[in-house]
Amino acid sequence: MIREGLPVAPHDQGGLATAGLREQIGPVGIVHRPPARWIVGCMPEKMQDELAALAAAQGGAFTRAQAVKAGFGPAQIRTCLRRAEWTDVARGVYVTKDRLEAVHDEPCARHVLQAAGRVLTSTLGVVASHRTAALVHGLPLLGRPPVRPQLTRAPRFAGDTSAVKSLYVAGLPAAATTTKDGIPVTALARTACDVARTTSYRSGVVTADAVLRTGVHREELLAAARYCADWPCGRRAGEVARFADGRTEYVSEKGS
């Protein structure tokens, strides 16, 4: 048996079966440990760059399958997780240590990262919605981020519902969805209406005003409100859409 840091006996040298192991033996017959970066399996720069580019294009997260496709083997993936180089944000979805540290003190950014992971795990075409969508778009919200990412998917059949908490089932016409920073998300006007329907009137106005300040036309906001008028609390969305004017940043300046 070859022991690290000890000279290799002549009969042992002859038993080295692979060229890779021979390359680890120094000129005096001492086995040298490969660099830690090599052992982790995050070693080839090309693999890391490819995975980083992929993650950046989908909200900062990547799936296990994508890591495997980029060249990471099961052992390398386990090592990256064990050494906290990667962290799972959803089942089979990871973010890098650097990415996680970058949002450590930003609850809203952490929530968006979680949402990106949840969207990646779904096979039902979900999009970030409601308050989560507002955060993806960078819109202001009253209060803290949701505990769980709020997502929406289109119904698959009449009367379709969801038993998953924070997963809504509702119509998603093409005009109601978009992509922001690689994350599928409800469009700005739809987001404002969903926030108005599921939170308070005051909170809805804060978000709706911010949407109008981005350049969304008032008629677009009103049209989104009409689309969901028959949904739970759809009337409130209409009231918020008619009241919002985009001229103020805080609802307290306009009343409640």
For residues 182 and 66, state if they share a domain.
no
Please state, for a pLDDT cut of 90, what percent of the chain lies above it.
67
- The per-residue pLDDT for range 41-67, each reduced to its tens digit, is 444 677 788 888 999 999 999 999 999
Give the mean model confidence (pLDDT) for residues 193-211: 96
Q: Are 54 and 66 in contact (CB under 8 A)?
A: yes
Q: Out of 53, 68, 101, pick the residue that ends a domain.
A: 101
The residue-averaged pLDDT of 74-85 equals 93
Sign of CA dihedral 189, 191, 197, 203: negative
Give the pair of three-digit tokens for residue 242: 């008619």
- The end-to-end CA distance of the chain, in Å, is 78
Q: Does residue 6 lie within any of the structural domains?
A: no
SS3 for 126? coil
5 or 230: whose pLDDT is higher? 230
Q: Is residue 21 part of a domain?
A: no
Structure tokens at 151: 């997502």
pTM for the predicted model, two decimal places: 0.78
Considering the domain architecture, whether residues 173 and 206 belong to the same structural domain is answered as yes
- 198 and 92 together in one domain: no
- Average pLDDT over the chain reads 84
Q: Which amino acid is at 79?
A: T
Residues 244 and 148 in one domain: yes
Residue 214 lies inside a defined structural domain of this protein:
yes
Residues 130 and 214 in one domain: yes
93-96 vs 62-63, strand pairing mode? antiparallel
Does one domain contain both 59 and 176? Answer: no
What CATH number is attached to the domain comprising 71? 1.10.10
Instruction: Give domain status of residue 110, yes or no.
Output: no
Give residue for tokens 């803290």. 144
- Kindly state the average pLDDT of the residues 79-91: 92
Task: Say whether 220 sits in a helix, a strand or coil.
Answer: helix
Q: How many domains, in total, are found in the chain? A: 2
* Structural domain boundaries enclosing 47: 39-101
Residue type for 163, please?
A
Look at residue 130 and tell me if it is in a domain. Answer: yes
Whether 86 and 130 share a structural domain: no
Residues 203 and 87 in one domain: no
Tens of pLDDT, residue by residue over 227-249, are 999 999 999 999 999 999 987 66
- Cα distance between residue 53 and residue 119, in whole Å: 18
Clarify whether residues 80 and 171 are in a common domain.
no
Q: Are residue 244 and residue 210 in the same domain, yes or no?
A: yes
Residue 235 lies in a domain: yes
State the residue for tokens 């294009």: 57
The average pLDDT across 84-102 equals 92
**Strand order in 86-90's β-sheet?**
62-63, 93-96, 86-90
For residue 99, what are its two tokens? Answer: 């990415």
Say if residue 154 is in the same domain as residue 197.
yes
The secondary structure of residue 130, as a DSSP letter, is H
Least confident of 28-42, 60-74, 107-121, 146-160: 28-42
- How far apart, in whole angstroms, are the C-alpha atoms of residue 182 and residue 55? 9
